[in-house]
Amino acid sequence: MTPDALLPALTAHARDTAHAAATSTPPAPCPCGAATLAHRPDATVVRHAGTVAKAHAPDADADGLALRLTLAARIPGVLLPPLAPTSSPTHLHGRLVTRWPYGSPVDPDDPDAAPWEAAATLLARLHRTPPPVPGTPVMRGPEKAARAIALLRTTAPHHPATAPVLRAWATLPAWARGEAAMPDATTLCHGDLHLGQLVRHPAPDGPWLLIDVDDLGVGVPAWDLARPAAWYACGLLPPDEWDRFLTAYRAAGGPAVPQDGDPWPALDAPARALTAQTAVRALTKASEAGRPLDEVEHSLIDACARMS
C-alpha cells in the first residue's frame, strides 16, 4: 500500500482503538481531536483523542520491534509505555503498527524552554538500566547512519558537497559506520536522541518521557549524546545549552562520559558520525528540492570538510 493510501487506514485504526472501550459507535463526525503527526515514507503517525498509532518503516523487523515494545513497557518513568505492552505489533496493509498514549511534545517555537536537563537525566537512567529483556537487539544508530550514506551515494553522487561528507565518513572507526560490532554490547541506548523524542505524559504537564523505540537496543551510550555534541561542535547549539545537557547527564550518573574532565575522547567518533549523517539529510533534502544549501546546511558540510 502506498503511503497516501496508508494514512486513512491508519487514521481509522487509531479512531477504532481510541473508542474500543466505548459502549457505542462514536458519532460521525467524531467530536474527538484528531491529527496527522507525521507522514513520511519511513513512518506515519496519527492521533485520535488520547491514542497515537504509528505505522513503522516498511522494512521494520517484527521480532525486533516486539522486543523493543517489551523494553518500553518494562522501564517505566524513562520510556513511554505502549498502550498494549504485552501484544505484538499489529499488521496493517503490509506495515507494522503500534499504539501509544498521547504525550505533549517539546514546543519547537520556544527554544528557551527546551528540556535539556530532562533529556540528559532520562538518558542517564536508561544507560544505567540493565537490559530487562533476554535477546535485547542491538542499537540501530550506526546502521541508520550507514543507510543514509548509502542513499547519498545513489541520490547525489556528483553534488560538490558529497565528497567532503564521504571523506569524513571514511575517517570513522568501523563500528561507527555499521561495519563492525560495537565495542559495548551491554548498555541500553535509545539510538536516535533529539528533542523531538520527548513528550510529557500524561499531557499536558506530566513528566518528560522518551519516545520512539525503533532504534532502541544495546550499544555505545555515547551515541545518544552525539547529536547535541555534534550540534555544539558545529556551532548550532549554544555552549550554555550543551553545558546544561552534559552537566545534567553527569549529575545523573550517566556512564557514557567520565564524571569530570574532557568528555570528547568518548564523544568524538559518535559526534563525527552524527555530523556526517545530519549533513547527508540536509544535502539530500536540498538536492531533492533543487535548491542551494542554506547557512545551517553549509555549516554541516564545512564541519565534514574539517573532519576529513
Distance between CA atoms of residues 23 and 2, nearest Å? 33
* Residue pointed to by grid coordinates 545551517: 296
Give the mean pLDDT of 6-19. Answer: 91
Q: What are phi and psi of 90, to 5 degrees?
A: -85, 145
Q: What is the pLDDT of residue 287?
A: 86
pLDDT, tens digit, for every residue of 71-80? 999 999 999 9
What's the whole-model pTM score?
0.93
Distance between CA atoms of residues 25 and 44, nearest Å? 25
- Kindly tell me if the per-residue pLDDT of 33 is higher than 70: yes
Q: What is the pLDDT of residue 27?
A: 62
Distance between CA atoms of residues 57 and 89, nearest Å? 12
Q: What is the pLDDT of residue 109?
A: 87
Q: What is the pLDDT of residue 1?
A: 42
CB 209 within 8 A of CB 80: yes
Share of the chain above pLDDT 90, in %: 83
pLDDT, tens digit, for every residue of 82-102? 997 666 799 998 999 999 999
Of 6-15, 77-86, 101-110, 297-306, which range is least confident?
77-86
